[in-house]
Amino acid sequence: MPRRLISFDWALKRLLRSKANFDVLEGFLSELLKEDIVILEVLDSESNKQQRNGKSNRVDLKVKNQQGEIILIEVQYEREFDYLQRILYAASKAISEHLVEAQAYSKVIKVISVNILYFDLGHGEDYLYHGRTHFTGLHRHDALRLSARQQSLFSKQYPHELFPEYYLLKINQFDDIARDTLDEWIYFLKNEEIKDEFSAKGLKKAREILDILRLSDSERAAYERHAEELHYQASMYESTYVSGKLDGIQQGQLQEKQALARLMKQNGEPIEKIAQYTQLSMKDIVAL
């Protein structure tokens, strides 16, 4: 039976900020971005500090890679209807934070936003989405490219390589079939298990350092409390959602009865008959 492993969000809070464990994050990012990623440092922010120390269903981490790009990694459990706007704001904020006053706009930093989601965001059948900015001709439908001078200056060919990029990993929609090495990572993110045959970058080290049996008694107790808190938050959300849905159904049924009662009143039907058909009180019918 495979050993239980620490969840990725807990690892982000406690273990993966250490330089000794960078190769786990580097492996995950290399598989996702399809290039060899080297992490130079973890960049702290007020958001990092709050999420690391507080009870929250969101954990985030900001790192800088060997190309000087900023990668924002976030794990989110609870549904947020304005989540897309929030990650846009986070990317924009990271850009502004790293542009020193009086620097030219050419120094704007590249930001990659990686979002590991345990709720269904938007409407789509896939479990992995990639978003970036493209400029397409409205008449000739050609893709805008950078000029030769811009390509020389920025070492890029297209504007989207300068703009923020976004990755959305909808973990709960993954079907548990690992078709490639990135899927092996997603399997771990969903099931907190790494199979013996998995070969994705970083997973071997992850299996070593994320083993629950390696935790001290106090760390294990803290992790169990963290897991219980996530279950509690999920239950609270589900209860609120179900309650709100039932309230909405009841309100809709009442409005339908009131609409029928109004129509019957307009047609001159007696109050007693309207009450019989709609199950509304005669007092409520008169008040309509």
- What would the pLDDT profile of 201-238 be if each residue is shown by its tens digit? 999 999 988 887 677 777 777 777 766 666 556 565 55
Cβ 234 vs Cβ 251: under 8 Å? no
pLDDT, residue 28, reads: 96
Break the chain into its structural domains and give their ranges. Answer: 8-214, 230-287
Task: Say which range, 46-50, 54-58, 253-257, 262-266, has the weakest mean pLDDT.
Answer: 46-50
- Integer Cα distance of 178 and 193 in angstroms: 12
Q: In whole angstroms, what separates CA 246 from the centre of its chain? A: 27
Provide CB contacts within 8 A for 144, sequence distance 6+. Answer: 135, 136, 137, 158, 159
Model pTM score: 0.74
Cβ 43 vs Cβ 249: under 8 Å? no
- Degrees to nearest 5, angle at CA 102 with 101 and 106: 100
- Integer Cα distance of 114 and 165 in angstroms: 9
pLDDT, residue 72, reads: 95
